[in-house]
Amino acid sequence: MTATKFDNSAFSGLGTIAGQAEDNAAPMHAPTGNELEWGSSHEDVQHRTTGRHRPIRRQDIAEITSQLAIMTRSGIDVASALGSLANQCQKPALKQVLIDVHDSVLSGSTLSSALGMHAEVFDQRFIATVAAGEASGKMAEVLQQLSQVQRSEIRLQRTMKALMTYPVLLMTVSSAVIVALVLFVLPRFADIFEQYDLTLPVITQLLIAISTEFRSRWWLWGPAFASAVTGLLVWRKTAVGRRWLDALWLKLVIIQSVYRPQIVGRMCRILGLMLESGVPLLECLRLSKQALGNVHYQDLIDELEDAVVNGRGLGCVLQTAEIVPQSAREMIITAESTGNLGEVTQLLGEYYEEEAEARMRQVVGMLEPIITVVMGAIVAVVVLAVMLPVFDLSTLAQGGR
């Protein structure tokens, strides 16, 4: 078998490989908060499909990367490792990709070139980092770092989802109870109240009016609500809507304490990994931009690219970048001057990702009792709107005896 080539052609062809991947990749769309992950392209991270097979998940790519790193570190050449992984793989879509990559490597292609033929599965950053690992002869170390980054992002996303599950479930159930009480329970009592000469409380009259309006003109309010939701989703994907919403996440007091560290952590982690792997700084900035789901951070990357191209360095831009924490700005500027930018950005990425997770736990811990109290109060108001007239009716019945 022919092992993967480790020569300078991989590094010199880095821009070409990334450009081919960009041309072959599906059109990009605006992320909604959580963003690109290593080893999977941006258009649909979680639902990547090949033909009629089941989707290739990020977890699958992370496991393959980890196993490939272990095999190459053990002295197995890349071609043999790919063949072994293809034979062991139980998922048809991923198995076919591994077979194709294996065949390309056996025919003399570099691993990065073979991966570039599947840009719908492996994104440009993944391919460029592998190309840099080939050029530097540190393929095993680079693959291990890629695997660690993938697993870290998957773990962080799972943690965020787990933390948000209870608040979202609580709001959903409470909202369903409120809607059921207003639209289905209260109208039944309203029919009873009409039979007696009762002066209904203001809140009861208001809720009955709302219930009657929605029930009698559902044909108007239903399509209106659906149109409003659809319009909001479409507007969110426009340049103006995306920029406005991205600015909102950065300004909301509670959300920004989680959102900013998460974005900065991802940006620094990806920059650090590619820089340590030997990817040129300008290429690192261009590729890391795709991983940032916020247009304001993408604008910052554009400014950093322009500064590097014009020989001004990162410091002149970061000094006024308020969306990056001051401590991170100072460390990056110092690291750039000392030539230790790759290692420092990796450490910053790990720190801010951990900080984002810790702050998320704090925010959720604070929001859970607030949501419970607020939703409980709303349910209590609706219940009182129903029960107060019932009490009056009971008193009237007792007085009639």
* pTM, entire model: 0.71
pLDDT in tens, 189-228: 887 887 776 778 888 889 888 988 988 888 999 899 999 9
Class of domain 8-137: mainly alpha
- Terminal-to-terminal C-alpha distance of the chain: 100
Domain boundaries, the chain: 8-137, 151-401
pLDDT computed for residue 42 by the predictor: 40
Count other Cβ atoms within 10 Å, centred on residue 131.
31
pLDDT in tens, 276-318: 888 888 888 888 887 787 899 999 999 999 999 988 888 889 9
- pLDDT for 48 beyond 80: no
* Nearest by Cα to 292 from 31, 29, 22: 31
Q: Which fold has domain 151-401?
A: Receptor-associated Protein (1.20.81)
**Do the two domains 8-137 and 151-401 of this chain adopt the same fold?**
yes
pLDDT computed for residue 304 by the predictor: 92
Rg, C-alpha atoms of the chain: 28
48 DSSP 8-state letter: B
